[in-house]
Amino acid sequence: MNHKGQFDVARKTIFWMIAGFLIAIIILAFTFTIADYRSKLTYVLPQMKAEFITLRFANIPQCFAYKDDLTGRVYSSTIDLEKFTKERLFSCYHTEPKEGYQDFNFRLVLKNANKEIFTNNYFNKDDFTQFKRVLVKDGDSFKEDTLIVYVQQYISKPEVNPLQ
């Protein structure tokens, strides 16, 4: 093999190494662009996520919704005041004791009935508030009220200093 042939082989080898590296970078950039676009396309606002969670409080009998014992009918947006307890809220929605501060936590207030309950990891850090007009069944009477839902979205984990 002459000198010209040796340089030709070396030049082709270097070219294909650089071309392969550039092609790999282009493929990775395209993959990350598609993944980023997909995550932006499917993003749901925290207010909407919290709204979906809070719908259960006044709309299902396992939480606070009034259920007529005779007919078995569940009245949505009607809260049975007897069910409006912290224990019932814990059975309806609770977060993990150790890591639950990273989830949605709620403080529920019935304005006119002057009752308030909150989830197990609620730390009085309100990120946003939702208002819902509801009926409250108190004994045999129904009264109009406002359910105020204070939402705590996320609390960052406290820094632990190992030297303390």
Q: What is the full per-residue pLDDT of the chain (164 aa) written as tens digits? A: 566 666 777 788 899 999 999 999 999 999 999 999 998 898 889 899 999 999 999 999 999 999 998 999 999 999 999 999 999 999 999 888 777 777 889 999 999 999 999 998 888 888 999 999 999 999 889 999 999 999 998 776 655 555 55
* Cα–Cα distance measured from residue 55 to residue 158, given in angstroms and rounded to the nearest whole number: 31
Q: Using alpha carbons only, how large is the chain's radius of gyration in Å?
A: 29
- Residue of 50, 114, 121 lying closest to 81 (CA atoms): 114
Q: What is the pTM of this model?
A: 0.72
